[in-house]
Chains A and B, each alone.
Chain A
């Protein structure tokens, strides 16, 4: 009896002991700072004014959501960058996955080569493209001149519209490979027998794509898009190096705007409030993601 009770106690204590190092670290380095940030967001802590601050309640949140044109503009900019990026990444990724599915020899090596941009840091990829877009020595202007397409040294970051196009292009370059990998995995999980029997029934390639591949790939696509959507709300490094938010704030994303408010204007409290507004948005997206995944599991099981 004594031993049994001891064993039970030990059993209850052991799982917690094993999990505790990371739980303690997460509590100290993630949960506590988040609580602290919420506390800060209710003050008016501004390092450019001084180290003293006082409680101001929800003032920062009201300013962020209703008055701050720059922040609201950055929400709009983020959406403007996200929408075309997601659509093109999905289409291009699907196209590449379908092409890769048809390759018989050398598929692993081609897949790995195509996947490389997704492994590279946004800053490094952004720098490579910044240099490609370079006005005088950039490859794009020089190639364009050599081929006779361009007749001037074009400034790709001179106007807001072309800057946004350039950012979207680099983002597509950076993350289409991810979409491709996800969709390729989805394609390979579709049983070959379905295609064989469709062929026996006289279906054309187009028909079997439309009524086998697409319906069965729908949820994989949804998951891929959700993951990219959530990650795109954090778009920062690419902007930092490609445009630094310019020209005239046209490519300032929510994350980049918050960074500037915190570390250029040093308005710590206000930046915390902004980050909480962003977290709220991302949380909604994450819950949507969980819901999609649950739906998918319900379908599969």
Chain B
């Protein structure tokens, strides 16, 4: 999606408002047509001719034009609002969808500040877009009105007005690219200062602890200097730009004055000269000024903001499980919801020669991993953090594509399963439990459609969140995730997974905020549940509950029973040993 494309789309979708905008623009720019005429006639036929009533009449016509303009201005503004408010909504939609898809792809979202910045960009883009629409439209209509007015007054004056205007406009357009570049640089520099200041303030403690005051002052100083340089550069070019305004706005006045003697000889009255000057001073110069300002500043602002939004908000090229991009309504509650080419049978998980690395220059996290977890088996994965346990879980769940090798669930390669089929086949609960604003029932039934009361009760009881459910006020009560502790959120997520129809359950440190007893209860509940359980262990006790254990050490992995591993894996022995071998005498 390109910036012009987005803007065209925004205008195209709101044809009604665009039409309304154009219609009311006639009313709004009426004075630019009427003013010179009215002044000329009021003077020539009224006041100068000794007929003040006629003069007042023309002034009343002018006042009427201004009133119409005022009403028009209101409608114009509302029409613009009608265009830019949906535009803002669209942008927010892009931002939200893009951010969510991206975060889902990487497993991590931007922080609060980044979200706030994106929202602000959408607001900025809206305001800038409104300003650009307003000034461009106003300029076109004003110039048209002036041309018509001058023609009505005295056609021969027109070139005196239009030629300098065209020259000024050309000058402005020529300076626009440079202007835009400097404006953009100024905007970026301002953001750079703000973000480096924010980083500095956030890190005050660490900066002092590292004794890095000098280095950080130099770094922030560079951003500050850059902002000052950018602002100065902008001021310099703005000063030059003033010339184009002078050519377009002031030169016509001088030309008209210079031509006045000859115009008078052609029969022009004082009123005609005054009317022409009124046109120039009252309509043309302001319109040109706001065009220069509006396009030179707001136009650039709009481009920068839109580029930001599009780069962060663009829908990702391909979702990992992109078999068919489902509009993924509520997760499917049965095989009716969609028919993948092959439905997985059972929950046998097979990983064959799987190799995965996060980047070209990175060491593989997993290398040549062979793992089979039979239907109904209970496997624990242990190893130091950062060793890639979560990566294995993500690979097994089909959220990451291995560089080499295959992952099969129920005999079907995971990359053949679309999003819906995948979420029917397996459920992955990560460490950071997700609870959203909504009822408890909605939260619990997130992966299972709308489970019945009895089903809910059974799951809640099995996981051990009966007390929590009662405290929250039952299934119909609204849940505010902010009021739940991490452990409570994990209980909700675990119950949700327990309720899902998937036979393969992957708990990726999903119980780390529970106390050991609660963790044991939840894990036992899953072990009793029909299907396969894979636990990425946060505590080693989780390993002791599992039938089989996968020990990850470096990018190698060994699996076996506890007894086997004590023999086979030095790391495992090291981990467990300290608790098991009595101190030698």
A binds B: no
Question: CB within 8 Å of A: which residues of B?
Answer: none
